[in-house]
Amino acid sequence: MASEPSLLSMSGITKSFPGVRALDGVDLDVQAGEVHCLLGQNGAGKSTLIKVLAGAHQPDTGTIRWRGEDVTLRSPIAAMRLGIATIYQELDLVEHLSVAENVHLGHEPTAAGFVVRGRAARASTAALLKRLGHSEIDPARLVGQLSAAQQQIVSMARALSHDVRLIVMDEPSAALDPDEVDNLFRIVGDLTADGVAVVYISHRLEEIRRIGDRVTVLKDGRAVAVGLPAKSTPTREVVALMTGRNVEYVFPQRPTAVPEQTPVLEVEGLAREGEFEPLDLRVRPGEIVGLAGLVGSGRSEILETIYGARRPTAGRVLVDGRVLRPGSVRAAVRAGLGLAPEERKAQALLMLESVTRNVSVSSMSRFARGGWIDRGAELGAARAATRELSLRPDNPDVPVRTLSGGNQQKAVLARWLLRGCRVLLLDEPTRGVDVGARAELYAVVRRLADEGLAVLLVSSEVPEVLGLADRVLVLREGRVVHSAPAPELDEHRVLDLVMEGSPAS
């Protein structure tokens, strides 16, 4: 390629948020008329990258070249003027406006500069919808009355209503039925035939094979593969890139034998309709059980249901042989369960508060007499818990938001350590944690298990589950397809199991 300059060439893009480096020197090169797929786990930096591309985030460093010229995308409007349109996963349509009004939002055809020419808007909208193969959508209808698939078409019509040269689609197929997906692919084909480039984000590898030209894989804010041929790269290689086989993890040693104790956590036939099928599992003190599966396999849902944050449709959870009240987080916490959730900032941390208060929040009453908190005792206990996990900095008075991702995770673990919890549920424990800090976190988890905690670990990073857990359950689409001691499994076998039945493997 490349006698002609690329349509878009981003290089060395970095972007940091407090506590985490979301993008760490990412390159992306897109040619006119190609479908360029962007792959990566949640938290790999895809959303940040497309927000930079859409002008919604400003990169800290790096350059963006558009048709051979350096540009700065100061705002979403600036990006749109250049011809870059983004269709977000959560559609940004105004439900109470009509299809035509949404399509022309911000650039309405007007008479005398301000009177909206409704008929002209509806006519041009109808033409766009026809081009997209959806002439059945009435431009005068309210967007809120349309189905998810139709709303997506409207979003696309909005993108096309500008003179667009590059469309970013963030998981466009997530809400679609199979034949709607076919129509989507036809539209993508038409667009690229016209010379429009498409940056396509999806978790579904088989889709990427069908329509993709090249693939860029992101992991931990870095591009681990740039411009791979989409059709000929083996699936296994792509998945391995996403899940990070190439990073050399160091895992703590397993104890020679897990002590034969009665299980502390028992899950019997637990299920949630539409999310995961009846599940049985047992975790003994000192044991780490891992659940491996890709996004959408029901991993997080299972943990949250065990924890009582979601109400099961069937089955029960027992701790020490006693049944937990279903759908009650408080009952679970009282029985000795602790959750380190996937979305640490949204689900676990009180971002405005200090490390101490984040650590003590689940055991406040222990430092209180008649509701009155003994702050000295609280600080002492929080300090002891954070020291035990070597949380840095060694000062529990600092606001938790100033910590790095790994140390924020340690603050969450310290919370449950302080509470004296006996079953730790870890959901993607190293999400947003720098590679260097992961080994330390693994060592912490293993040490907690050695001290008698039962750990249930969920991760989409297969090497993580295999390296850390004693026993592994492999999940696919809400169902356990395999269960074995971790040393008996290897990564390829698990990847095959995880993707079994997918046409591309």
Partner 1 sequence: MTQHVSPPRDSADKVPSANEAPAWRSLVFRADLRTLSLLGVLAALIVIGGVTKPDEFLDTRNLQLVLTQASVIGVVTVGMTFVITNGGIDLSVGAIVALSSVWATTVATQEYGFAGILFTAVLVGVGCGLVNGLLIAYGGVVPFIATLAMLASARGLALQITDGRTQIVTVGSILDLGERDSYVLGVPPLVIVFAIVTIIGWLVLNRTTFGRRTVAVGGNAEAARLAGIDVRRQRLYLYLLSGLCCGIAAFLLIILSGSGQNTNGNLYELDAIAAVIIGGTLLSGGRGTITGSVIGVLIFTTITNIFALNNLQSDVQQIAKGAIIVAAVLVQRRTASTT
| Site residues, partner 1 (CB under 8 A) | 16, 18-21, 24, 247-250, 252-253, 307, 309, 329-330, 332-334, 339, 341, 346-353, 357, 361-362, 364-365, 368, 371-373, 375, 392-393, 395, 397-399, 402-404, 415, 434-440, 443
Q: Which is nearer to partner 1, 327 or 452 (by Cβ)?
A: 327
- The number of beta carbons lying within 10 Å of the beta carbon of residue 162 is 16
Torsion, Cα of 170, 176, 181, 186 (10° steps):
-70
Q: Which is nearer to partner 1, 173 or 430 (by Cβ)?
A: 430
Q: Which is nearer to partner 1, 32 or 435 (by Cβ)?
A: 435
Exposure string over 482-491, b if 16+ CB within 10 A, otherwise e: beeebeebeb
Residue 338 C-beta: closest distance to partner 1, Å: 9
Q: Determine the Cα–Cα distance for residues 135 and 157; give it in Å rounded to an integer.
A: 11
Q: Which is nearer to partner 1, 203 or 357 (by Cβ)?
A: 357
Type and span of the H or E element at 47: helix 46-53
Residue 222 C-beta: closest distance to partner 1, Å: 8
Residue 247 C-beta: closest distance to partner 1, Å: 7
Q: Which is nearer to partner 1, 116 or 373 (by Cβ)?
A: 373
C-alpha atoms less than 13 angstroms from C-alpha of 392 in its C-beta half-sphere: 7
35-39 and 84-87 strand pairing: unpaired
Q: Which is nearer to partner 1, 189 or 393 (by Cβ)?
A: 393
Helices (H), 423-489: 435-450, 462-468
Residue 11 C-beta: closest distance to partner 1, Å: 17
Residue 381 C-beta: closest distance to partner 1, Å: 14
* CA-based nearest residue to 446, from 473, 486, 484, 483: 486
Residue 59 C-beta: closest distance to partner 1, Å: 15
Residue type, 505: S
Q: Which is nearer to partner 1, 165 or 222 (by Cβ)?
A: 222
Q: Which is nearer to partner 1, 169 or 242 (by Cβ)?
A: 242
Q: Which is nearer to partner 1, 235 or 358 (by Cβ)?
A: 358
User: Do 18 and 407 meet the contact criterion of CB atoms below 8 Å apart?
Assistant: no
User: Do 5 and 65 meet the contact criterion of CB atoms below 8 Å apart?
Assistant: yes
Residue 294 C-beta: closest distance to partner 1, Å: 24
Q: Partners of 484 in the beta sheet?
A: 472
Is residue 210 helix, strand or coil? helix
- The number of beta carbons lying within 10 Å of the beta carbon of residue 3 is 4
Cβ partners under 8 Å of residue 415, min gap 6: 338, 348, 358, 359, 360, 361, 362, 363, 385
Residue 77 C-beta: closest distance to partner 1, Å: 21
Q: Which is nearer to partner 1, 185 or 249 (by Cβ)?
A: 249
Residue 362 C-beta: closest distance to partner 1, Å: 5
Q: Which is nearer to partner 1, 183 or 347 (by Cβ)?
A: 347
**Which DSSP category does 135 fall into?**
T
Q: Which is nearer to partner 1, 253 or 256 (by Cβ)?
A: 253
User: Do 325 and 302 meet the contact criterion of CB atoms below 8 Å apart?
Assistant: no
Q: Could you write out the DSSP letters of every residue in 355-424?
A: HHHHHHTTSGGGGEETTEE-HHHHHHHHHHHHHHTT-SSS-TTSBGGGS-HHHHHHHHHHHHHHHT-SEE
Residue 3 C-beta: closest distance to partner 1, Å: 33
288-292 and 454-459 strand pairing: parallel
Q: Could you write out the DSSP letters of every residue in 48-99?
A: HHHHHHTTSS--SEEEEEETTEEE---SHHHHHHHTEEEE-SS----TTSBH
Residue 172 C-beta: closest distance to partner 1, Å: 28
Cβ partners under 8 Å of residue 314, min gap 6: 269, 270, 271, 278
152 burial (CB, 10 Å; 0-12 / 13-18 / 19+) is buried
Q: Could you write out the DSSP letters of every residue in 148-201?
A: HHHHHHHHHHHHHTS--SEEEEESTTTT--HHHHHHHHHHHHHHHHTT-EEEEE
Residue 359 C-beta: closest distance to partner 1, Å: 10
Q: Which is nearer to partner 1, 36 or 310 (by Cβ)?
A: 310
Residue 350 C-beta: closest distance to partner 1, Å: 5
